[in-house]
Amino acid sequence: NEPVLNSLSVKGCFSSLDSLLRTKCWLTESDLTHLCQSPDISQLKSLDLSGVTMTDFRTELLQVLLEKVAATMQELDFDVCGITDSQLEAFLPALSRCSQLRSFSLCGNLLSTAVMEKLLRHTSVLPYLRQERYPAPQETYRPRGVLLEARLAQLRAQLLEILRDLGSPRIIWISLSPCPRCGEAVCHHMEPIVHSCPSPA
């Protein structure tokens, strides 16, 4: 079988490329490479690859993709993609150059607290970012995925301290996976972590 993206009409899909939605589908490394090489990728404003497993992709692929769309990208959704610490660290510098980014979601990926801190620091330079949805760090769970509520509260407080240290007002949502209420892959029922700068005297 041909890769998913290569089997599409390149001219028809990418000649005026504005958004790309490929959720919960079979996507190969060749597909992603083909997308990165599209001459019109620099027009992309919205990219949703939620549910597309990226575990076996070369770490530099997402970095190359984000570098190509840094001037235009406004919405990024990488929910439940199997993104690892090493993959995230590889594309963080490129992510921090997406100057038009307004919404970014990474829910459902197992990331460490240390890498989450690096993520918050890299995204703090993005002036238009208003919607931030991230997974609860992997230290929040026991080995079999059992939620440690006390640990979650501690990590939320730790992330709030990082936001205070960074200084800018921000609201981030930390999502559990799976949702303890309904069993969905991503939980969106959590209260946001809010840092507001104090009003001048």
The string of pLDDT tens digits covering residues 153-200 is 999 999 999 999 998 889 999 999 877 777 777 877 788 999 886 655
pLDDT at 17: 52
The string of pLDDT tens digits covering residues 63-96 is 999 999 999 999 999 999 999 999 999 999 999 9
Under 8 Å between Cβ of 33 and 58 = no
Under 8 Å between Cβ of 119 and 88 = yes
Q: Which residues contact 96 (CB under 8 A, 6 or more apart)?
A: 122, 123, 125, 126
Q: For the chain, what is the mean pLDDT?
A: 83
pLDDT at 39: 80
Single pTM value for the model:
0.83
* CA 188 – CA 185 distance, rounded (Å): 10
* CA 111 – CA 114 distance, rounded (Å): 8
DSSP 8-state secondary structure symbol assigned to residue 91: H
* CA 99 – CA 125 distance, rounded (Å): 8
Write the burial class of residue 176 (CB in 10 Å: 0-12 exposed, 13-18 middle, 19+ buried): buried
Q: For 146-152, what is the mean pLDDT?
A: 90
Collapse the DSSP code of 127 into the 3-class scheme (helix H, G, I; strand E, B; otherwise coil) and give the result.
coil
Structure tokens at 85: 């610490």
Residue-range domains of the chain with CATH: 45-195 (3.80.10.10)
Whether 2 has a pLDDT exceeding 50, the answer reads no
